[in-house]
């Protein structure tokens, strides 16, 4: 096992990800808890992360001295390199605010870290961290690589197997970074690569049992992948101490509710409370046209209904959530800063304010693709696990203007046809998200010999890595023609189809 001591870098989780990709289990602990973690985990290698502090500042964080005394290899990255140098007797002077930048490192001497990748005399692109600088090396260390602005870009104490990098090997902008980390894990620490999702599953089951004991857990299912994977994993750990609550707001896509219910009750035999609250949501939304009011109405009502159902389950001490790592970073980096609300996000399964639960969040350390792997490992069907993201407020925000159950039915049919054609064309997995939108606009058409006056359906499909930016998907025209034809012929109430070619920014992915 590898212990990663976190000094607050925005990219610490990527270190864990790289270590896991090399097949070895790793755990991140904040520096304040590092001492206890050393004793508990008995790590075979330690990585010190970057962080925003400056070493010469009197109260900046340090690694427990034991890190350097327990005889295992240590890799210090950015701030981690600086604190290591200072703690081992070198001198560090403060620089300016920490930031990343592209740089070239010239390899000065061979190192086990460079094995099979970098050779002396070569220069390689890295993502450098500018901040403090080492002005005097600690005893035992030599410089293995340098750049014009960073004379100590790579330092090493060969005997003790201590390494310090002034750049970030964990980010993709350092093209050989993953290989450097793999060398540290395999060649220097001598760790094998057997850690897999199967191992994570076992590990997490143990942790859930330890956290929950004999307590009761409730979990809000959204119909999405994350809450489903979390629920199946927790059920595997504690069985029927878990109750899932599925608040059906009536804004799901075609067949989705049936699928969730049969998957949980049937395939997995997990206790599930299915609350059909669609009438309540529809009446609260009646006549509401403002997108923010829609979102807030749905968010508020969801919490109300969930709260009632949670009380009915009785004496649950824990609330399970499918929080992922990106949710965790986002909520840290965006907190406190001035930012404009573009849309008030509502996540089904989010913690109802004012409810006093302890949280169980088994996916907190995982990225989306890892959750999908775990889902497959747990036996969730491929088609379910690979689904596109779906927003908490559901079809309400894909139906601009006031919502009615007739409009939702029309939208559901059009959306199902569109997704069916995308699947048939083998494009589903290439697209980040695809959906139909029902516009509050009627246009004139002609069908057979008659005049029609019906709604317009918009089609949206985007590619994206994280939903923060997106490009429209370049379907070929014949494909779009086929979809339009089917929708107009098969869905009553739509007589015109348009394709949305807006990127994000300036558009957003959803229409509201
Ligand atoms: P936008 O429309 O802001 O969407 O470009 C970015 C991503 O977020 C999803 N989305 C939501 N997800 N609750 C969610 O859980 C919400 O309220 C919500 N609104 C948008 C959207 O589907 C896209 O993937």
Q: Residue 311's domain is classified under what CATH number?
A: 3.40.50.620
Q: Does residue 347's CB lie within 6 angstroms of at least one atom of ligand 1?
A: yes
Residue 465, burial from CB neighbour count under 10 angstroms (0-12, 13-18, 19+): exposed
To the nearest 10 degrees (0 to 180), the angle between helices 368-377 and 225-238 is: 50
pTM, rounded to two decimals: 0.76
Q: Where are the alpha helices (DSSP H) in 267-404?
A: 278-285, 291-313, 325-333, 368-377, 382-385
Is ipTM over 0.95? yes
Look up residue 159 and give its two tokens.
């005997």
CA atoms within 13 A on the CB side of 406: 6
Cα separation, 155 vs 50, in Å, equals 16
Report if residue 219 sits inside a domain.
Answer: yes
- By the 8 A CB rule, do 357 and 319 touch? yes
Q: Which residue's CA is the nearest one to ligand 1's atom 10?
A: 391
Q: Does residue 368's CB lie within 6 angstroms of at least one atom of ligand 1?
A: no
Catalytic sites, residue numbers:
78, 168, 170
Q: Does residue 391's CB lie within 6 angstroms of at least one atom of ligand 1?
A: yes
- By the 8 A CB rule, do 234 and 268 touch? no
Query: In the listed set 188, 216, 235, which residue is the last one of a domain according to the structure?
Result: 188
What's the pLDDT score for residue 334? 33
Q: Are residues 219 and 363 in the same domain?
A: yes
Q: How far is the CA of 508 from the centre of ligand 1 (A)?
A: 9
Report if residue 202 sits inside a domain.
Answer: no
Q: How many domains does one find in the chain? A: 3
Q: Report CA-CA distances (Å) from 140 to 70, 161, 163, 208.
A: 17, 10, 11, 43
Q: How far is the CA of 510 from the centre of ligand 1 (A)?
A: 7
pLDDT digits (tens, 9 = 90+) for 294-351: 999 999 999 899 999 999 998 899 999 998 876 765 444 333 334 466 777 766 545 5
Report if residue 197 sits inside a domain.
Answer: no
What's the pLDDT score for residue 130? 81
Look up residue 447 and give its two tokens.
């069908």
Cβ atoms within 10 Å, residue 454: 19
Report if residue 390 sits inside a domain.
Answer: no
What's the pLDDT score for residue 352? 57
- By the 8 A CB rule, do 95 and 54 touch? yes
Q: Does residue 467's CB lie within 6 angstroms of at least one atom of ligand 1?
A: yes
Helix (H, G, I), strand (E, B) or coil at 448: coil
Q: Residue 463's domain is classified under what CATH number?
A: 3.30.300.10
Report if residue 159 sits inside a domain.
Answer: yes
Q: How far is the CA of 29 from the centre of ligand 1 (A)?
A: 30
Q: Are residues 157 and 225 in the same domain?
A: no
Report if residue 38 sits inside a domain.
Answer: yes
Query: In the listed set 361, 385, 409, which residue is the last one of a domain according to the structure?
Result: 385
Q: Are residues 379 and 428 in the same domain?
A: no
Q: How far is the CA of 345 from the centre of ligand 1 (A)?
A: 7
Q: Are residues 254 and 153 in the same domain?
A: no
Report if residue 196 sits inside a domain.
Answer: no
Q: Which residue's CA is the nearest one to ligand 1's atom 22?
A: 391
Q: Are residues 408 and 330 in the same domain?
A: no
pLDDT digits (tens, 9 = 90+) for 343-382: 777 665 455 566 688 999 999 888 888 899 999 999 999 9
Q: Report CA-CA distances (Å) from 374 to 286, 368, 390.
A: 40, 10, 19
Below-70 pLDDT ranges, the chain: 96-99, 326, 328-341, 346-355
Cα separation, 230 vs 397, in Å, equals 26
Q: How far is the CA of 192 from the centre of ligand 1 (A)?
A: 40
Q: Residue 119's domain is classified under what CATH number?
A: 3.40.50.880
Q: Are residues 368 and 296 in the same domain?
A: yes
- By the 8 A CB rule, do 475 and 499 touch? yes
Look up residue 83 and give its two tokens.
């604190």
Q: Which atom number of ligand 1 is nearest to the Cα of residue 343?
A: 3
- By the 8 A CB rule, do 303 and 295 touch? no
Q: Are residues 274 and 406 in the same domain?
A: no
Q: Are residues 113 and 156 in the same domain?
A: yes
Report if residue 241 sits inside a domain.
Answer: yes
Query: In the listed set 325, 353, 385, which residue is the last one of a domain according to the structure?
Result: 385
Enumerate the known binding-site residues for ATP.
Answer: 222-228
Q: Are residues 297 and 327 in the same domain?
A: yes
What's the pLDDT score for residue 467? 82
Q: Are residues 370 and 404 in the same domain?
A: no
Q: Are residues 413 and 363 in the same domain?
A: no
Q: Which residue's CA is the nearest one to ligand 1's atom 12?
A: 391
Pocket test for ligand 1, best of 467, 472, 500, 505 (most atoms within 8 A of CB): 467
Cα separation, 55 vs 57, in Å, equals 5
Look up residue 323 and give its two tokens.
């929080």
Cβ atoms within 10 Å, residue 250: 19
What's the pLDDT score for residue 75? 98
What's the pLDDT score for residue 10? 79
Q: Report CA-CA distances (Å) from 435 to 110, 254, 368, 389.
A: 53, 12, 20, 10
Enumerate the known binding-site residues.
Answer: 222-228
Q: Are residues 224 and 138 in the same domain?
A: no
Cα separation, 492 vs 455, in Å, equals 9
Q: Which atom number of ligand 1 is nearest to the Cα of residue 510?
A: 2
Look up residue 487 and give its two tokens.
């929708």
- By the 8 A CB rule, do 395 and 411 touch? yes
DSSP per residue, 207-234: HHHHHHTT--EEEEE-SSHHHHHHHHHH
What's the pLDDT score for residue 196? 85
- By the 8 A CB rule, do 299 and 344 touch? yes
- Containing structural domain, residue 410: 400-499
């Amino acid at each position: 096992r590898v212990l990663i001591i976190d000094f607050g870098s925005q990219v610490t989780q990527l270190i864990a990800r790289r270590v896991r990709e090399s097949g070895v289990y790793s755990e991140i602990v904040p520096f304040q808890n590092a001492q206890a973690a050393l004793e508990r985990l008995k790590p075979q290698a330690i990585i010190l992360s970057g962080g925003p502090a400056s070493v010469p500042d009197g109260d900046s964080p340090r690694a427990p001295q034991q890190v350097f005394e327990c005889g295992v290899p240590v890799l210090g990255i950015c701030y981690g390199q600086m604190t290591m140098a200072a703690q081992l007797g070198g001198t560090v002077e403060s620089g300016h605010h920490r930031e990343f930048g592209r740089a070239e490192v010239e390899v000065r001497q061979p190192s086990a870290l460079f094995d099979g990748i970098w050779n002396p005399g070569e220069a390689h692109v890295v993502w450098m961290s500018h901040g403090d600088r080492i002005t005097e090396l600690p005893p035992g260390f030599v410089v293995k690589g340098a750049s014009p602005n960073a004379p100590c870009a790579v330092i090493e104490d060969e005997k003790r197997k201590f390494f310090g990098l002034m750049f970030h090997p964990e980010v993709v902008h350092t093209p050989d970074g993953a290989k450097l980390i793999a060398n540290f894990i395999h060649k220097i620490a001598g760790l094998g690569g057997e850690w897999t999702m199967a191992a994570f599953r076992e590990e997490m089951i143990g942790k859930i049992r330890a956290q929950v004991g004999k307590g009761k857990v409730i979990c809000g299912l959204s119909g999405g992948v994350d809450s489903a994977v979390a629920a199946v994993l927790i059920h595997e750990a504690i069985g029927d101490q878990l109750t899932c609550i599925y608040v059906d707001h009536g804004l799901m896509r075609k067949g989705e509710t049936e699928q969730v219910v049969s998957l949980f009750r049937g395939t997995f035999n997990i206790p599930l409370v299915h609350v059909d609250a669609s009438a309540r949501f529809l009446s609260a939304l009646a006549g509401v046209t403002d997108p923010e009011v829609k979102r807030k109405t749905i968010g508020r009502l969801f919490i109300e209904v969930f709260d009632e159902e949670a009380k009915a389950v009785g004496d649950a001490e824990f609330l399970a959530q499918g929080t992922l790592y990106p949710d965790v970073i986002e909520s840290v980096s965006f907190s406190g800063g001035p930012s404009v609300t573009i849309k008030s996000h509502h996540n089904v399964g989010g913690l109802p304010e004012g409810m006093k639960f302890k949280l169980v969040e088994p996916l907190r350390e995982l990225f989306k693709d890892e959750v999908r792997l775990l889902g497959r490992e747990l036996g969730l069907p491929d088609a379910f696990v690979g689904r596109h993201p779906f927003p908490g407020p559901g079809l309400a925000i894909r139906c601009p203007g006031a919502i009615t159950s007739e409009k939702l039915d029309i939208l559901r049919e059009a959306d199902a046809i569109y997704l069916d054609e995308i699947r048939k064309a083998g494009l589903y997995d290439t697209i980040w998200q695809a959906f139909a939108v029902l516009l509050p606009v009627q246009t004139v058409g002609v069908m057979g010999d008659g005049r029609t006056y019906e709604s317009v359906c918009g089609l949206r499909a985007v590619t994206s890595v994280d939903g923060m930016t997106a490009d429209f998907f370049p379907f070929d025209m014949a494909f779009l023609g086929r979809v339009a034809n089917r929708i107009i012929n098969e869905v009553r109430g739509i007589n015109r189809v348009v394709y949305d070619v807006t990127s994000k920014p300036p558009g957003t992915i959803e229409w509201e």
